[in-house]
Structures are given as C-alpha cells and as structure tokens.
Chains A and B, each alone.
Chain A
Amino acid sequence: MANPVLHIKDSYYFEVPKVLHPWNAESLKDFPDVWTRLDPEFQQWEFDRQYEALTKVRENGQPLQLHPKEPYLKSWQEWVESDHANDGKPFDVFIEETLVSQVKSWKDWQKARLAEATAAKDKGTIEDISSTDFNAFISNQNLGVEVSHPELIPFTRWLHEVQAQSAYSLAPNEWDLLKKEAGDVKEYRKAFERKEVKEWSKEKIDAYNYHLSGKILIPQPFGAELRNLYEKEGGLTNVAVSKFMIVEVIVVLILVAVFSWLARKVVSGGPPKGKSWNFLETFVVFIRDQIAEPAIGHHDAHTYVPFLCTAFFFVLGCNLSGMIPWIGSPTGTFGVTFGLAMVTFMTVIASGMARFGFFGFFKNQIPGMDLPIYMAIFLKPMILAIELLGLVIKHGVLAVRLLANMVAGHLVILGIMGLAFGAHAALNFSAPEVPGWQWYLTATISVLGATAFNLLELFVAFLQAYIFTFLSALFIGAAIHHH
C-alpha cells in the first residue's frame, strides 16, 4: 500500500524521478528477468512447457493420468482471478499451494476421524486411519471429504511423493529441476529469436516502460532469484541484495569516514576547534556523560562507550535516511531492528557472564532476599523464570519500539498526503474539467501538514536513537551490577 510513494518497505530497486532514468525497451528481450517472469504471456509459455514436462514424468514407472491441457489452464486462470493475492502466480505455484491445502485437508480429516474412533474405542478403525497416508487419502474418491481443486490430484500426488523422498537432501529434486527448466527466461528469449514466440503488443511494452522508468534495479549476485520487485524466492541459499542493505552499508561508510577524522583530531590533542569538530564532540561527550556514566557507573562506562556510540549513530543515520525522498529508512523493517536488539542482547549477556561467570549471571538476576530456606527453594526459581522472560521481552520491545515509531510516522505522512490525492479523485468523479477551490484548499492543508509531520519525524529520528542507546546502557548496567 505505502510502498510506491514513501518506500516504507524494502525493495530490490532504487527509485528516482522518472525523467532521470527512463526505460525505453523496444521488445520483450529488453526487460529484466524478474519483470518478464510476471508477464501473462510468458507464464502461458511456461505453462505449456511445464505441462509437456509433466506428461513425461513417471510415478512408480507409470506416466501420470493427465487430460489434455485445457481444463488445467482454465482452473489455473480462474484461481488467479479469484483472489487478489494470487496475481502473477505461475502454474507451479498453483500446484504447490493446492498440495499444501490438500495435505491440510488430509490432516484435518485424520484428526477428526481419529477423535471419533478413540471416543468409540474402535481399535481397528484407529489402526486404519493412522495408516492412511496421503496417497491413499487422495486417491480414495468416496471418503466424503471436499478437497480443493480435485482435478490437480495427479500432479499433487506425484509432487508429494517427490517432496517426501527428497525431504532430507539439499540438492534440488525433480520438481525444482522441472520448474527451472520450464521457466528459463533465456530460453524464452531464444524462442523469440527463433520466431516461436510472438512479440508483445506496443501498448503492453509502453505500459511496462512507464511502470519501470525511474526504477534502478539493483544488480543481484549470481544465483539470486527474485519473485517480484519486493520479494525474493525462499530458500537459505538464495541471497539477494536489497535497497536497504545498500543504504545501511552507505551509512556505515559515512560513519567510518567521519569518525576516523574525529579520532585523528582527538589524538592530536588540544581542545576542539571549529564547527564540525565541536558538533561531533558534543554528541560523543553527551553519550559518555549523560547516557553511559549514569547507567553503567563511572568505573566501567569507558568499555561500553564505543558500542553505545556505534548504536546511536547507526540508528540515527538509518532513521535520517528515511527523511531523504525515495530512499526510506532501513530501521522501518523488522529485520534491521531485530538485529540491533539482538546485538544489545548479546552484549548484555556477554558482559554479565564475563563479570559473574555463566551461572553467576543467572544468579545475579534474582535479587538478594533473606528468605528462610523453605520459601527460597519455592520462590527463587519462579523469580528467575520471570526475570529471564522479562529480559527477553525488554530486548524484544527495543526492536518493536524503534520499528513502530519509524513505520507509524511515515504512514501518518502518507495519510496526510493521501488527503490531496483523495480530494483529486473525488473532484474528478464529480467535475472532471477544472479543479475547484476545494482541491486547492485541501492540497494546501495537505502540504503544510506533511511538512509539519516531517519535522516531527526528524525529531522522532533523534529521539528514538537516543532512547535505543539509553535503554541499551540501562540494560548493560543492570547486567554488570549486583542486583
């Protein structure tokens, strides 16, 4: 919803104004792989190839009992049109999702019948039902259970077998190889050159050019598969580079450059002179004197000041990049904030264990109470459990607080900007010629409101960086001091 305008979510392209990076493709060969894969004509070509490959597979030595391709094509297209979430999903995803829902029906049926049979204490039926595997369930027509898309049963039965056999191996199984072979975009382009595939219509190419202009796609490492411009295919070996990753690296490089300059100035001795030096020193001294020393204590603060400075400036840099148009803030995604909270969590645990030892850290979580032994045995484990849960929750909330503040602020700005768009749409509906005074008034209010909220967002960026650092310092202090 919010992506195209405010870049709140991560993406695999950088956006700039359309005029700066126009896309002038002439034919279907010029479009990137990820874009071609979502095109309906390509998916039709892919479906034909997948169907042919599926007629050649062997299940227990027999070919699958398949109809000619029309009913499968029809049911796939009906499925795509039925739900907005199914847009752009190719035929193989249709088969995989149908398999998932059929397996679920099987499990539900098994559970329900087992519950009945246990209640009736019918040992024979219990045996029967527990031993009904997926194949038997799916092939049996008169069980009285509604399964979704029963026409796909030959495919799902074979796919279930293939997946069960390759469940513990890392190599791609028969189905993965089939998908890769059928959906190869390079083959599609070669088929186009051999004139087996028709050129796309001019309107479609123009529309695609319009949608793609302004988007600079990020070059991916070899082997990375993207499902669309916002998501990548699942799988642990599928490593793709996204926009926020690049923004974080740029923030880090800026920090390294700036602070190595500062460190050289500090090493050379003498009081700070000049605006930038004083500006940076103000921040660093603030972190040392107002955040680290009150929370951690004068004796140990110097060990943790580098970590706190890094956390503060990295979070600040990432938050501020959300103020730049078309870039968006990496801390608006759960992955980044969770990673930062994990770093704090690891620091807390490591410093606590370094100070007190492995078990001493847990003992330190329990406050010292003078309890008689019979109450201590009862209460102290409970208190330990609650304290450990509290530890995990406190750090998790660090992540959520930062994420929610960044996302919510940008969503509010989107809402205010939406006022102008909404007024435009409403006026277009009633009087399409000339925008009336209502639109000018709404647009003025929208621009002024958005400006005010952007200033608030600037304040929130600094505040959230400060809060994150301060709470990290507090947690570290609590871990290394006696309770």
Chain B
Amino acid sequence: MTLTTTAIGVGLVVIGAAYGIGRLAASALESMARQPEVAGSVQTAMIISAALIEGFTFYALYICSTAVGK
C-alpha cells in the first residue's frame, strides 16, 4: 500500500516538474528565435531556472521515497 502511495507521489512530482520546465524551455526557445542576439543570456537564465526547479523536485522525490516509506 505504501509502495503504491509512494509511486503515485513520485508521479505527481514528476508531472509538476516536467510541466514547469517544459513551459520554461518553450518560452526560452521562442524568445531565442525571436531575438537571436540575446540567445546567450536567455540560455543562461533558462539553465538557472531549470536548476532551481529541479532543486525542490529532487527534495520532494527524496521525501516521497524515504519519509513516506516508513
């Protein structure tokens, strides 16, 4: 039972994170296509935002897999 709960939790976390990073990447690519000369700084900002989102994603995954499994 706890394994199913854990799996559902992990799935939800992944949905949220992937959706967020996907939208981020989409808007970054769009602005890079619109204005190629700022592509460098847009890429930097994209990587930073992706790392921030992934930070708490991993934290949530860690909590799902260990703290719930007791």
Contacts and interface: CB of A to CB of B under 8 A. Distances in A.
B62 A401 contact: no
Interface in B30-70: 44, 47-48, 51-52, 54-56, 58-59, 61-62
Contacts of A467: 48, 51-52, 55
Nearest to A406: B58
B58 A404 contact: yes
Contacts of A404: 55, 58-59, 61-62
A28 interface: no
Contacts of A349: none
A404 B65 CA distance: 13
A401 B61 contact: no
A470 B61 CA distance: 24
B57 to A, nearest CB: 8
Nearest to B51: A467
Interface in A396-415: 397, 400-401, 404-405, 407-408
Q: How large is the interface on B (under 10, 10 to 19, 20 to 34, 35 or more residues)?
A: 10 to 19
A404 B52 CA distance: 11
B62 A407 contact: yes
B56 A463 contact: no
B62 to A, nearest CB: 6
Given A404-B62, A467-B48, A397 B54 contact: no
A463 B62 contact: no
A102 interface: no
Contacts of B61: 404, 408
Contact of A397 (B44, B47, B56): B56
A401 B48 contact: no
A344 interface: no
B55 A463 contact: no
Given A401-B52, A467-B52, A408 B47 contact: no
Contacts of B56: 397, 400-401
Contacts of B44: 290
B64 to A, nearest CB: 12
A352 B27 CA distance: 35
A321 interface: no
Contacts of A400: 55-56, 59
A404 B51 CA distance: 11
A331 interface: no
Nearest to B62: A404
B45 to A, nearest CB: 11
A470 B48 CA distance: 9
B48 A397 contact: no
Nearest to A407: B62
A415 to B, nearest CB: 11
Contacts of A290: 44
A463 B47 contact: yes
Nearest to B60: A404
Contact of A405 (B47, B48, B54): B54
A401 B55 contact: yes
A408 B62 contact: yes
A397 B55 contact: yes
B55 A405 contact: yes
Nearest to A398: B55
A365 interface: no
Contacts of A407: 58, 62
B3 to A, nearest CB: 15
A446 interface: no
A464 interface: yes
Contacts of A408: 58, 61-62
Contacts of B62: 404, 407-408
A413 B40 CA distance: 31
B39 to A, nearest CB: 15
A404 B54 CA distance: 9
Interface string A460-483: 000110010010000000000000
B51 A463 contact: yes
Contacts of B58: 401, 404-405, 407-408
A467 B61 CA distance: 20
A470 B54 CA distance: 16
Contacts of B47: 463
Contacts of A401: 51-52, 54-56, 58-59
Contacts of B48: 467, 470
26 contacts: A290-B44, A397-B55, A397-B56, A400-B55, A400-B59, A401-B51, A401-B52, A401-B54, A401-B55, A401-B58, A404-B55, A404-B58, A404-B59, A404-B61, A404-B62, A405-B51, A405-B55, A405-B58, A407-B62, A408-B62, A463-B47, A467-B48, A467-B51, A467-B52, A467-B55, A470-B48
Given A401-B56, A405-B54, 10 more contacts: A290-B44, A401-B51, A404-B55, A404-B62, A405-B55, A408-B58, A463-B47, A467-B48, A467-B51, A467-B55
The 7 lowest CB-CB distance pairs between A and B, nearest first, are: A401-B55, A404-B58, A408-B58, A467-B51, A404-B59, A400-B59, A463-B51
